[in-house]
Structure 1
Amino acid sequence: MNKNLIFDIKRYAINDGPGIRVTVFFKGCPLACRWCHNPESLSPQAQKLFTAARCIGCGECVKRCPEQACELTPAGIVTDLERCRVCGACAEICPSTASEISGRAYGVEELLAIIEKERPFFDQSGGGVTFSGGEPLQHPEFLLELLAACGARGIHRIVDTSGLASREVLLKVAERTELFLYDLKLLDAERHRQWTGVDNAPILANLRALAATGAEIRIRIPLIRGVNDDPANIEATARFIDGLVGGPKLVDLLPYHGIAVGKHVRLGGEYRAEGMSEPTADDLERVIAGFAEHGVLAAVGG
């Protein structure tokens, strides 16, 4: 049976497209955005998360770990990530859910059963299912099978994507998708590489190709003060969007927030926040006005 790692399933989602939705989060992403609010989505492998504030110091994880990767110290539980094999034994035994595993393998039918349970909400609100991540286009075979199955059941389908995928995969997915939520971060190639780790040329080219098919697209911009809120980037982004053949003229601005700090710590890493901050109300007004000057309607949220 074809299975795929999913790190979260959000029911009653109201910010991932129209209506009330189920959002399925795929694990693994080809970008490494410094501001990513779901750092557990970046790796395609299962990962251990540890929340120190929940730990009661019982030591059960130390006894259960087959790799002896957990140690009870005066500062609390410490996990040797080099020895940890992410088997999940610590999470199974932890009475306070301090230890958790991000990433569980689901089959198509199992996911469909979860999605189908929310159908009354879909029917009432005009909602459906949104496939997000991570990057769902990194898992084309599984995603296409899911999209086909949802389509056969009359469920509205959205794919939330960074756009970094093969053109062939993107266009195949477009045949089975009612709406794309397409991220744009930065138009300048060098700055895009600096903040996301990848070139934006294929992302922009894919968006042009997707818009030319007549696919329904909503552009989403994670707005980070000090990164992509400057007038030059706003003008370049607006001109690019305005030039898309048959493309969208509506942009959703997603203001940056620092919620990811705790998640990085729980993964055993660090969060580099230098150069990034939350946009102010004045920043948002300025950016919205900047887009409007070039014929693009921007709004906060989406």
Structure 2
Amino acid sequence: MISATTVNIQKFSVHDGPGIRTTVFLKGCPLECWWCHNPESQNLNPEIFYFEERCTKCGKCIKRCEGKALEFKDNYLTMNKGKCNLCEKCADFCPNNAREYVGRNFTVKELMKEIIKDEAFYEESNGGVTFSGGEPLIHVDFLKKVLEGCKIRGIHTVVDTCGYAAWESFEKILGKVDLFLYDLKIMNNEKHKKYVGVENKLILENLKRLSARSCNIFIRMPIIAGINDDDAHITEAICYLSNLNIIQVNLLPYHKMGMDKYKRLNMEYKLLGIEKPSEDRMTEIAEKFRKAGMKVKIGG
């Protein structure tokens, strides 16, 4: 039976495609973007969030841990990930909800049951379901089955992808996706490897192929000061996109809303000191895309 692990199923979402949507965040991603605001979606496996501010250091989680993975060091609760068997008992028995299990496995049937709960809202708002992540194409066979279920019921479908997947994976879902939200992060390949963790050649090739298939595509471009907000990068992105069939470009200003999650997962946040780009700069960048004849939106 095909299944996949989700991070979250967000109801009444209005930023991941048209209308009121259910956004399914699937776990696992081939990228490691420095600005990722969902670091809990990077690892394929379930994980544990630790909310230090809630912890009273009562020690109940240590006593319940089957793998003996927890201990206090310098008055801070630490976890040996190699010993953790994800028994969930540290979360189940914490009286202050300081530990939270992240990652739930769904079969196709179970996920479809969640999706159809809000069909009335999709119909009234011309909304639907968005599959995000992480990277949904990591779970392409599962994704294909759920997309087929949505199409049978007439539910509008969106796939939010980083583009870093074998073209064969895209081919499996073509015709079942009404709209692709496609990330375009950095045009320079060396900078892309540094800040994203992989080369961008496959991402750019897949985007060209989707465009050639006349797929509906919204480009999502994060704007991060000092990394990809310079005029040279914006000009290169515009030149590249000008030759493709793109409906809209969404410019996403960098934000710090996911920063606390890194501490909860004992991960390093690498963009300390970077601030949100100014409204004036975002407007300037948007205007460059408009002058090139593209429909552009800040945010979304």
**Fold-level similarity (TM above 0.5):** yes
- Structure 1's 268 and 122: CA in aligned 2 closer, same or farther, altered over 3 A? same
> Does residue 213 of structure 1 match 2:217?
no
How big is each residue's C-alpha offset from its partner over 1:105-137, in whole Å with a ceiling of 9 and x where there is no partner? Answer: 111111111111111111111111000000001
Greater mean deviation of Cα atoms: 130-139 or 82-91: 82-91
Cα separation, 1, equivalents of 2:271 and 2:68: 33
Amino acid at match of 2:111: L
Q: CA deviation at 1:76?
A: 4.3
The one-letter code of the counterpart of 1:180 is F
2:218 aligned counterpart, secondary structure: strand
Which is worse superposed, 168-177 or 30-39?
168-177
1:87 is the counterpart of 2:75: no
Partner of 2:41: 41
Alignment CA distance shift 1:76-1:192 (3 Å): closer
Q: Which moved more, 1:48-57 or 1:261-270?
A: 48-57
Taking the aligned partners of 1:42 and 1:204, their CA distance within structure 2 comes to: 21
* 1:139 match: secondary structure: helix
CA shift, 1:56, in A, is 2.9
Report 1:211-250 matches (<5 A): 211-244=211-244, 247-250=245-248
Unaligned runs of 5+ in 1: none
Residue 283 of structure 1: aligned partner: 281
8 Å Cα contact 1:227/1:275 also seen in 2: no
Q: Which amino acid aligns with 2:184?
A: L
- Counterpart code for 1:272: K
- Could you give the per-residue CA deviations for residues 6-64 of structure 1, whole angstroms, max 9, x where no partner exists? 11110111100001111001111111111000011111111111011112333221121
Residue by residue over 1:197-246, the C-alpha shift from the partner in whole angstroms, topping out at 9 and shown as x without a partner, is: 111111111001101111111011111111111101111111111101xx
Counterpart residue type for residue 160 of structure 1: D
Residue 297 (structure 1) aligns with: 295
Q: Which residue does 1:20 correspond to in 2?
A: 20
Q: Cα–Cα, structure 1 residues 187 and 104, in superposed 2: closer, same or farther, change >3 Å?
A: same
Q: 1:219 to 1:213 in 2, by over 3 A?
A: same
State the SS of the aligned residue for 2:297: strand
Alpha-carbon deviations, 1:241-269, whole Å to 9, x = none? Answer: 1101xx11520011111122210000012
Tell me the secondary structure at the aligned position of residue 131 of structure 2. strand
- Whether the 8 Å contact between 1:227 and 1:276 is mirrored in structure 2 is no
Q: 8 Å contact 2:66–2:85 — kept in the other structure?
A: no
Task: Quote the residue 2:267 is aligned against.
Answer: 269
Tell whether the 8 Å contact from 2:217 to 2:247 is kept in structure 1 after alignment. no
Structure-2 residue corresponding to 1:110: 110
* Equivalent residue letter for 1:228: N
Aligned partner of 2:292: which letter?
H
1:198 partner SS: coil
Counterpart amino acid of 1:158?
V
Deviations 1:64-121 (A, max 9, x none): 1011222246624332223222221111222222111211111111111111111111
The CA RMSD measured in Å over matched residues stands at 1.4
Q: Greater shift after overlay, 18-27 or 85-94?
A: 85-94
What is the aligned length? 300
Identity %: 42
Write the distance in 2 (CA, Å) between the matches of 1:4 and 1:187.
31
Counterpart-to-counterpart distance in 1, 2:34 and 2:16: 22
Pairs within 5 Å for 1:63-102: 63-72=63-72, 75-102=75-102
| Residue 293 of structure 1: how far off its partner (Å) | 2.8
Q: TM-score w.r.t. structure 2 length?
A: 0.96
Counterparts of 1:71 and 1:274 in 2: how far apart (Å)? 28
Q: Corresponding residue for 1:29?
A: 29
1:173-203, Cα deviation, whole Å (9 max, x unpaired): 1221110000000111111111101111111
Q: Is residue 132 from structure 1 mapped to residue 132 from structure 2 by the alignment?
A: yes
Counterpart contact for 1:48–1:102, Cα < 8 Å = yes
Give the secondary-structure state (helix, strand or coil) at the position aligned to 1:157: strand
Q: Are the equivalent residues in 1 in contact too, given 2:121–2:127 (CA < 8 A)?
A: yes
Question: After superposition, where does 1:145-156 map in structure 2 within 5 Å?
Answer: 145-156=145-156
Q: Which moved more, 1:139-148 or 1:47-56?
A: 47-56
